[in-house]
Copies of this chain bind each other. A is one copy, B any other.
């Protein structure tokens, strides 16, 4: 059976869940980390948005590949790769971290799972962190094994996630704290289960650590959710924008630094910690960063997909750009994520957006997450 809209191959990898999502009518794929990510099912993005806020969804996020660091220098390398202070990180903790290069440009924004003092998984967004880590380790002569393990995350997202998960993994899942994980039994396999995921509606990510087990985990969850309004799903662009969840490659690239991306609280900036990009970030912090990510609500009919950054202007001068945008059924206006220059990023600032047809639509800068998200 061919994929609906993108050729799957060894290069553009299927996941353990691909046969399930195809049977359920997946309507298209994106590609993340050389792996396919479902983009929608038999509903509109708007229907999916309302469902995610009320029910529970299974997401094939096998594309969230893991980069595993293990060995005597694993902790050293992990710290080198992020400005976030890992010195007090606990085993069982998930840590969202910016990852930057020597000039402070964003390279990725993984979630680190600390499995042991000498064992880490970086659950990555869309860039080959494996090659960055291997290059550093080779160049610095570190004693650390770096690999991509056979791990295929499956997300359970939405307000009814706790109930569904408890039916399979027991009430222990209810006690997992936000951005914490536990190893829980699934038919004799100990699986890492974390309270995390790429939505603001609550839920879990199950790190299925064996490709051949994935279909079974999906099926057991699917069969248990019949009365819980369970459906297949995927990251929802409306919910993501309103919730202020950034996407590497869209909001963040090497051209943006973490302070501009609103990630300053994840950066250790007192100079007491060594990591790649430290000098650059200290200088940016001392000068004050010149741009900031914000929300934007703007008029016009439903906007097209944002394929390239759209210019934002004030009095015909460009003061920023839109990176992701979509029609919001809740605001009955378009919503967007936008990078804005200093002086124009205060919530309430009036700006103009041109989505490529030469017409200026009026917009208002907002906080993130947006009100009520």
| Chain B proximity mask over A243-275: 1 for CB below 8 Å, otherwise 0 | 000011110010000000000000000000000
Chain B residues near A306 (CB-CB < 8 A) = 9-10
Please name all residues of chain B whose beta carbon is closer than 8 Å to the beta carbon of A6 when the two chains form the complex: 5-6, 28-31
**Interface positions of A from 1 to 45, Cβ below 8 Å from B:** 1-3, 5-12, 14, 28-31, 34, 39
Is B34 a contact partner of A249 (Cβ separation < 8 A)? yes
User: Which residues in window 122-140 of A have CB below 8 A to B?
Assistant: 126-129, 131-140
List 7 A–B pairs whose Cβ atoms lie within 8 Å, in order of A's numbering.
Answer: A1-B304, A2-B305, A9-B305, A10-B249, A11-B249, A12-B31, A139-B140
- A137 vs B311: C-alpha distance in the bound complex, in angstroms? 35
Indicate whether A64 reaches chain B with its CB closer than 8 angstroms: no
Q: Which residues of B contact A126 (CB under 8 A)?
A: 11, 34
- The reply to whether A28 and B7 contact each other, CB–CB distance below 8 Å, is yes
Cβ of A131 to closest chain B Cβ, rounded Å: 4
Taking a contact as CB atoms under 8 Å apart, the answer to whether A8 and B136 are in contact is: no
Q: Is A159 an interface residue (CB 8 A)?
A: no
Contact of A360 with B by CB under 8 A = no
A9-B307, A31-B31 given; 11 more Cβ-contact pairs under 8 Å:
A2-B304, A2-B305, A3-B307, A6-B30, A8-B307, A10-B306, A10-B323, A14-B307, A101-B134, A133-B135, A137-B139
* A143-199 interface (Cβ within 8 A of B): none
- A309 on the interface (CB 8 Å rule)? yes
Nearest CB of B to A97, in Å: 16
A217 at the interface (CB under 8 A from B): no
- Nearest Cβ in chain B — how far from A350, in angstroms? 25
Chain B residues whose CB sits within 8 angstroms of the CB of A8 once the complex forms: 305, 307
3 closest residue pairs by CB, A with B: A139-B139, A135-B135, A11-B249
Partner of A305, one of B7, B137, B276: B7
Given A5-B6, A107-B131, verify A12-B30 contact (CB < 8 Å). yes
Please report the C-alpha to C-alpha distance between residue A250 and residue B107 in the assembled complex, in whole angstroms: 25
